[in-house]
Each structure stands twice: as structure tokens, then as C-alpha cells.
């Protein structure tokens, strides 16, 4: 990839896609191609094929997907499986048929078995049963990375797959039902503070451990990978440390300034007990994250506050 490469960022309005655009622009890449959902429906195969035939794309960063938290995944399995399968199939095949030589497919750490040895290495894929609450999404993502692997093996393309850990940062989804845990906790904690509540409800027992990576660190990792000599493969991207959900909630309370107690809702699912990625493959390239969790949460809370009225959430 060079500064003049024509780079298509699929899903540029989302948290990951917007971080990729920031990272690329900062590093001097100037031929950045984007399309909104209204301009290009990635579920429409004919439209996707026509787009690739016209744009002469050199690199695809496939960050477009249907995403959500535990509630959304567990209540909409058909939507998560179908839409993600169609999006990734359309884009990957259109990239190949149009001659696009490089592509990065964005998966998720939920592709790994529920009861994996920790930290999770890339070769643990398909060695056990998946977490039931997000099985449909995980199956779709596994199919996408296997499709990239197959095109690279059969046709000599450079289609890489990255498996990020739990992400957070600007443009996150702060929806209480369908958002990811860190963003949802930021909103819940802010609203608890705003309303003078004495306790903060937290889904589950608080005991599961999760790893969190700021989305700008993800973007830097992807660019480091593209600058490497790797031709194909699967790469974990994570922070290298995890935290219990209860401790995460306390950290968010401290950042937001909420002094009440935590109230754990044991009727809600915990999900996978622990997910910590082994990031030694990327570390061997010289990459490491730079944004500490507390600093990242503070910046994300500021993003929430700056956008709270535009997004239709509670008044700041």
C-alpha cells in the first residue's frame, strides 16, 4: 500500500470505519473512497459489483457489518447471520472479480470457542463450541475470514483477516439495549448521575473478564499489518490485558463522577467467562497499543457528552 493507493473503507460512518479514515488521513493517504448505506447497499450484489467495476480499488478495508451487544445478538440471530454473510460475500467476491489485490476483513473475538484457553491464540479457532448468545454473528464472521483465506490460497490475493477484541471510542453505539457493554455503561452511568440515583444497574454478575481496545489503536494496528510482509492469515488485535466487568463499571463511575453503588442484575446473561487475546503475532511486527483504558474511557465519555443531544439521548 502506498500514499496514492485507492482505498475503499466499507462502513466508514461506524466506529471502526471512522477510526480507519482518521488513521489513514493522518498518515497521508489521500485517495480514500467511501459510500454511505444510502449510496451503496452492500446487501445488493449487483450494486456492489458495479461499484467495484467502476472505482478501480487497490485496497478494501471491510469494516461494514451488522453489529450489536448481547441483547441484540441473542434476539436477532437470523438478521445477524444473514446480513453479515451477504455483506462479506458481496464485497469480497466483487473485490476479487474487479482485480483488487488487497483486502482486510474485520471479524470479532467472539469467533473463538466459549471456553478457550487464555490468552486466546489464533489457532484456537474452531476447536470448541461458541458462546450461544452471539453464535449467529460469530458463524458469519468465521465464514468471512475463511472466504478471505480461500481466495488468497486459490487465487493469490492478499486478503487478510483481523480479529479485534472489544472496541470502544468515538462514534460508538450508546444504545442501552443494543450497544456494547462499555458504551452502554457510560450512558447508564451518566444518566444515573444526572437523575441522582443511588445505584447503577449492571447486567450480569460482574465477574466476566473482558479486554478493551480503543478504536484508534485498532486503526494503527491494521495499518502496521498492511505495511508488513504478511501475505495472508488471521491476526488478533487486542490490548493485552483484561478487566472484570464490575471493575470496568467502577472505573467508568469514577470517570463520570457517579458515587452510587453497583446493582448487579443476575437475570441478565454473563456471556463468555473470559476473553483475552494473544496478540504476539502483531507484537512481533513492533506494534503495541498506546491508549490506556482510563484515558480512553475519559475521551469516549467526552465524545458522548459532545454528541448526546444529536444522538437523542438524555440531556447532558
Q: Which of 62, 32, 45 is nearest to 147 (CA)?
A: 62
Residues in the chain: 316
- Residue 202 annotated as binding site: no
- Residue 188 annotated as binding site: yes
- Residue 193 annotated as binding site: no
- Residue 180 annotated as binding site: yes
Q: Is 209 left (phi over 0), alpha (psi -120 to 50) or beta?
A: beta
- Residue 34 annotated as binding site: no
Alpha-carbon span 116 to 221, nearest angstrom = 24
Catalytic residue among 8, 29, 112, 137: 137
Contact 293, 212 (CB under 8 A): yes
Residue showing cell 459532545: 306
The grid cell for 245 is 466487568
- Residue 99 annotated as binding site: no
Contact 80, 140 (CB under 8 A): yes
Q: Which of 112, 67, 70 is nearest to 274 (CA)?
A: 112
Q: Torsion over CA of 113, 118, 119 and 120, rounded to 10 degrees? A: -20
Active site residue 137: yes
- Residue 166 annotated as binding site: yes
- Residue 167 annotated as binding site: yes
- Residue 203 annotated as binding site: yes
- Residue 17 annotated as binding site: yes
Known binding-site residue numbers: 11-17, 141, 164-167, 180, 188, 203, 210, 270
Binding-site residue set for NADP(+): 11-17, 141, 164-167, 180
Residues with catalytic function = 137
Amino acid at each position: 500500500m502506498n500514499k496514492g493507493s485507492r482505498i475503499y473503507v466499507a462502513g466508514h460512518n461506524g466506529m471502526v470505519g471512522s477510526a480507519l479514515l482518521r488513521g489513514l488521513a493522518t498518515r497521508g493517504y489521500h485517495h480514500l473512497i467511501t459510500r454511505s448505506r444510502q449510496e451503496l447497499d452492500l446487501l445488493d450484489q449487483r450494486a456492489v459489483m458495479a461499484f467495484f467495476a467502476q472505482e478501480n480499488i487497490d485496497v478494501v478495508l471491510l469494516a461494514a457489518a451488522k453489529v450489536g451487544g448481547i441483547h441484540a445478538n441473542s434476539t436477532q440471530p437470523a438478521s445477524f447471520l444473514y446480513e453479515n454473510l451477504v455483506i462479506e460475500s458481496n464485497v469480497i467476491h466483487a473485490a476479487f472479480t474487479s482485480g483488487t489485490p488487497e483486502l482486510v476483513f474485520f471479524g470479532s473475538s467472539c469467533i473463538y470457542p466459549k471456553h478457550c484457553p487464555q490468552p486466546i491464540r489464533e489457532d484456537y479457532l474452531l476447536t470448541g463450541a461458541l458462546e450461544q448468545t452471539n453464535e449467529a454473528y460469530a458463524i458469519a464472521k468465521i465464514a468471512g475470514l475463511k472466504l478471505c483465506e480461500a481466495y488468497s490460497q486459490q487465487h493469490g490475493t492478499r486478503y487478510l483477516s483481523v480479529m479485534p477484541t472489544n472496541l470502544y471510542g468515538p462514534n460508538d453505539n450508546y444504545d442501552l439495549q443494543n450497544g456494547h457493554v462499555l458504551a452502554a455503561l457510560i450512558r447508564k452511568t451518566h444518566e444515573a448521575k444526572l437523575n441522582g440515583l443511588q445505584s447503577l444497574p449492571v447486567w450480569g454478575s460482574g465477574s466476566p473478564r473482558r479486554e478493551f481496545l480503543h478504536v484508534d489503536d485498532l486503526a494503527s494496528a491494521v495499518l502496521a499489518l498492511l505495511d508488513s510482509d504478511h501475505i495472508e492469515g488471521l491476526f488478533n488485535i487486542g490490548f493485552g490485558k483484561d478487566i472484570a466487568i464490575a471493575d470496568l463499571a467502577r472505573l467508568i463511575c469514577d470517570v463520570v463522577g457517579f458515587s452510587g453503588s453497583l446493582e448487579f442484575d443476575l437475570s441478565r446473561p454473563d456471556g463468555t467467562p473470559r476473553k483475552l487475546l494473544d496478540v504476539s503475532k502483531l507484537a512481533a511486527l513492533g506494534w503495541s497499543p498506546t491508549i490506556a483504558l482510563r484515558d480512553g474511557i475519559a475521551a469516549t465519555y467526552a465524545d458522548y457528552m459532545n454528541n448526546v443531544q444529536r444522538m437523542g439521548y438524555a440531556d447532558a
